A and B are shown apart, each in its own frame.
Chain A
Amino acid sequence: MAQAGFAYADARPVLQGIDLSVKAGEFHCLLGRSGCGKTSLLKLAAGLLLPASGQVLWRGEPVRGPLREVAFVFQRPTLLDWLSVLDNVLLPVSLSRRVTAADRELALRWLDRLGIAEHAQRRPSQLSGGQQSRVAVARAWMQQPALLCMDEPFAALDALTREELQQDLLAVCAEQGSAVLFVTHDLAEAVYLGDQVSLLDRGRLQERCTISTARPRGTGWRDQSGFHALCVSLRRQLEVTR
C-alpha cells in the first residue's frame, strides 16, 4: 500500500498517506482507537474499498476489487441463518463452483480443527457467540487465502473464549503460511498475535514495531515480563494518540 488515502463522500479524509506492506506469512496487527480508520484501511487492503489517492497493490498489481486470494472476517460472524453451519462454511466454494465431496470433507475438517464439527448440521442461531465466530473463521479458511483480513473478529467474545480462538488462529496460520492483517483496539491482543504492530491515529500510520518473540508463543508468555514490557511501551505510544 503506497501513499494510499481514502475519504467517504462529503467528509474529511478517513485515511491519509498510508504506507504499509504485509509480507507473505506475516501476522500484522493494526492497533488504534475507535474511529481512527482501522476498518477502512482493512477494507482498502481487501479491495472492498478503492483508494481515493495513492494505490493499493497485490503482488505488484493494483487492486481493483475483492480478490479471491484475500479472505475477510468481519466484526460480527455475519452467517446466513437459513443455511446449516456446514453450508455457511461452504459458501465461498458454492458461490464460485459446484460443491464436491472433497469440499465437504475439507469444510468438516476445518470445523473439526476449530472444535465445532458436531454442530455442522445445526443452524447458526443455535450456536453460541464464540462458536459462530469459529464458523466465520472456518468459512474464511475455505478460501485458502494468501491474506486473511480480520476486523476485530473476537471483540465481542469473553476473555477465555477469545484466548482459545487466538491460539487456534495462530496455530492454523502457522500451518497454512497465510499472512494476516488483524485490526484490533486491544493492546494485549495485538502484542500476543502480531509479528508487526502498526499504530493508526486519525487516519495516519504513526508507529510500527516489530515483536520478535519466537513462535509458538504459549499462553504462558502472557504472564511473563517481556510481554508486559511490550504492552507498556505500546500503551505509551497509544496514549500520545487522540
Chain B
Amino acid sequence: MRRLFDVGISAALGIMLLLAWELSTGWWQLSALVLPAPSQIGRSLWQGFATGYWWPHLGQTLLSVLLGLGLGALLGFGAGILLGQSPRLRRWLTPYLVLSQVTPKLALAPLFIVWFGFGTLPTVVMTALICFFPLLENTLGALDQTDERQLELFRALGASHWQTLWRLQLPAGRHQLAAGLRVALVLAWVGAVVSEFISASHGLGAVIIAAQGSMDTALMFAALSLIAALGISSYSLLGALQRRWQ
C-alpha cells in the first residue's frame, strides 16, 4: 500500500513537470525549434510508431547495446579474473589499463570508422570498450574482498586454486559483479548512442543527428525519450533478473 502510494507520488510529480513544461512553452511562445511542447514530442513519437519509422533504429541500437555489453562484460570479467590471479601481472598492466580508460574513448570514434568502417561494428566495439572497465574493476574488487576466514577454510579443506576461485571468490563476490554489470549496462546506452552520432546511419543516435540536420527538434526529443525509456526498462529488467538469480 505504502509502495503504491510512493509510486503514485512519483508519477504525479512527473505529470506535473510535463504539464508545467507544456504550459510554459505556450505562455512564452517558445519556438518548437528551441523547446517543443511535450504534446508535440508525443505526436512525433506516435507518428514514428504508426509509420514504423522507429523499429529499424530501435533494433539497431538494441543490437549494438546487447552485443557491446556482452563482449565488453565478458572481456572485462575475463581480464579481472586473469589479473586477480597474479599481483605481479596486475602491477605490470594496471598503468596501461588506467591509461586506456582516462583517454576519452568517444574521441576514438573517427578512428574506429577508419578501422572498422561504417555501421554496427564500430558502434559495438565502442560500446564494448566502455563496458569493459566497470566489469574489470568490479571483478578485481570482488576477488580482493573475499573473507579471509572463508579463504582459510578452503585452504584447510585442501581446495585447489580454481576451486577457491569458482566455488568461493566468485559466488562470494556476486553482488559486486552484479553491480558492475548494472553500471556497464547504463554506460552501454551512452556508448552506443554517442557512437551512432558519428559512425552509423541507423540507430537512435543517428536519428538524433538526422533530426538536428532537418531542424526537427521534436523528433530529437522523441528519440531521447525512447533512449531514456529503453535505458530504464533494461536496467530494471537486469535488476529483477539479478534479484531472482540471487
| Chain A residues with CB under 8 A of B154 | 95
- Is A68 a contact partner of B158 (Cβ separation < 8 A)? yes
- Is A46 a contact partner of B158 (Cβ separation < 8 A)? no
- Is B156 a contact partner of A46 (Cβ separation < 8 A)? yes
| Chain A residues with CB under 8 A of B168 | 80
With contacts A95-B163, A95-B167 taken as known, whether A80 is within 8 angstroms of B156 at the C-beta atoms is: no
| Chain A residues with CB under 8 A of B149 | 74, 76, 78
In Å, the complex CA distance between A48 and B147 comes to 16
CB distance from B143 to the nearest CB of A (A): 16
Any chain A CB within 8 A of the CB of B171? yes
- The residues in B between 157 and 179 inclusive whose CB is less than 8 angstroms from any CB of A are 157-159, 163, 167-168, 171-172, 174
CB distance from A211 to the nearest CB of B (A): 28
| Chain A residues with CB under 8 A of B167 | 95
Any chain B CB within 8 A of the CB of A54? no
| Chain A residues with CB under 8 A of B155 | 48, 66
Across the interface, B157 reaches (CB within 8 A) one of A76, A82, A92, namely A92
- Is B150 a contact partner of A78 (Cβ separation < 8 A)? yes
Number of B residues, CB within 8 Å of A: 18
| Chain A residues with CB under 8 A of B144 | none
Any chain B CB within 8 A of the CB of A192? no
User: Number of contacts between A and B (CB, 8 Å)?
Assistant: 40
Task: Give the interface SS of chain B, mostly helix, strand, loop or mixed.
Answer: helix
Per-residue CB contact flags for chain A residues 63-91 toward chain B (1 = under 8 Å, else 0) read: 00110100110101010101000000001
Any chain B CB within 8 A of the CB of A224? no
Any chain B CB within 8 A of the CB of A128? no
| Chain B residues with CB under 8 A of A71 | 156
Of residues B147, B157, B158, B174, which shows the largest number of chain A Cβ atoms within 10 Å of its Cβ? B157
In Å, the complex CA distance between A143 and B159 comes to 13
CB distance from A14 to the nearest CB of B (A): 17
- Is A48 a contact partner of B163 (Cβ separation < 8 A)? no
In Å, the complex CA distance between A48 and B154 comes to 11
With contacts A74-B152, A74-B153 taken as known, whether A80 is within 8 angstroms of B158 at the C-beta atoms is: no
In Å, the complex CA distance between A78 and B153 comes to 8
Across the interface, A66 reaches (CB within 8 A) one of B147, B156, B171, B172, namely B156
- Is A91 a contact partner of B156 (Cβ separation < 8 A)? no
| Chain A residues with CB under 8 A of B174 | 82
- Is B157 a contact partner of A66 (Cβ separation < 8 A)? yes
| Chain B residues with CB under 8 A of A46 | 156
In Å, the complex CA distance between A71 and B153 comes to 10
Any chain B CB within 8 A of the CB of A225? no
Which A residue's beta carbon lies closest to that of B150? A78
Across the interface, B152 reaches (CB within 8 A) one of A48, A82, A143, namely A48
| Chain B residues with CB under 8 A of A72 | 153, 156
| Chain A residues with CB under 8 A of B152 | 48, 74, 78
In Å, the complex CA distance between A74 and B147 comes to 13
In Å, the complex CA distance between A143 and B156 comes to 11
Give residues in B with beta carbon < 8 Å to A. 147, 149-150, 152-159, 163, 167-168, 171-172, 174, 246
Give residues in A with beta carbon < 8 Å to B. 46, 48, 65-66, 68, 71-72, 74, 76, 78, 80, 82, 91-92, 95-96, 143
Given A74-B153, A78-B147, A82-B174, list of 7 further CB < 8 A pairs? A48-B152, A48-B156, A65-B158, A68-B158, A80-B171, A92-B157, A95-B159
- 28 CB contacts below 8 A, A to B, read A46-B156, A48-B152, A48-B155, A48-B156, A65-B158, A66-B157, A66-B158, A72-B156, A74-B149, A74-B152, A74-B153, A78-B147, A78-B149, A78-B152, A78-B153, A80-B150, A80-B171, A80-B172, A82-B172, A91-B157, A92-B157, A95-B154, A95-B157, A95-B158, A95-B159, A95-B167, A96-B158, A143-B157
